[in-house]
Amino acid sequence: MHPLPELSDLLDTARVVALPMATRFRGVDVREALLFEGPQGWAEFSPFVEYGDAEASAWLAAAIDDAWMPRPPAVRRSVGVNATVPAVPASAVAGVLARFDGCRTAKVKVAETGQTLGDDVARVRAVRAALGPEGRVRVDANGGWNVDEAERAIHALAEFDLEYVEQPCATVEELADVRRRVKYAGIPIAADESVRKASDPLAVARAGAADLLVVKAQPLGGVRRALEIVAEAGLPAVVSSALDTAVGISMGVALAAALPTLDYDCGLGTGSLFTADVADYAVVDGVLPVHRVTPDAARLDELAASADRRTWWLERLERCWNILDA
């Protein structure tokens, strides 16, 4: 990583935005983010508001690296992406999928608090029906099941020809247990939170707890660090977003473009869940082009967060910068 810039270098160009969402996702209707500009261009700092400063500081390290250092060389010019289907009723699935132009892969959120396995089955059935037999369907439980619940749910969803199940349980030990239990079904297990929220992101690979990794550039400390983790783990990877603005999405696309091999569509189409964004960077025919995104000045003004939220984010930025400086 580039030597830490002065805090004033970040604050001088910092813009805080609030993007309205077309569909409630991760419990939010508006996604907030802080953007700043460095020598290489604009970067994004947008850890979710509930994250503590220690965890959020890795996101700041990623943003600084992206703004001050050239991105790694790309080995592909575009990246295939998947549609993301929040935990909506089955009747709303078609409307969500319509926002993702040409996507033939869909990631479906399951294990939502307050919902049932029946809700998950109905939602996944609707996605499979919309995509047809040639489409690829993956589900993401965000660690919401215990081992028995995961085994039962995967068995119930297996008829929809799942590409993989992402983070069915919270811990590495549980993932390993689920993977053993469902091996007969031939459904791969992917690890997300067990990589990006772990003190040791390689533990899941050493434990044989996953067949592939889901990696996100911001939480892992940047594109270069994420590439190192994938290389050390020795597992296939799929790149996903953290519900980023177009600026952050372009960093995720840079990560996906730099992976030596990429066998999966990536979860980088989440900009389609916003009704407005800081720049035009839309999925067209199921892919995103590889390039750095510069936010539109007028949209930065239009989407500016309220004064109190701007203050909240600037204070958070300073606290995280102090952690990195220490």
Q: Which two tokens stand for residue 119?
A: 């809700």
Flag whether 263 is marked binding: no
Alpha-carbon gap, residue 238 to 268, rounded angstroms = 10
Flag whether 280 is marked binding: no
Alpha-carbon gap, residue 155 to 197, rounded angstroms = 27
Q: Residue 162 forms beta bridges with which residues?
A: 137
Flag whether 192 is marked binding: yes
Residue 76, SS3 per DSSP: coil
> Which residues have a catalytic role annotated?
109, 216
Q: Which residues are annotated as a binding site for Mg(2+)?
A: 140, 166, 192
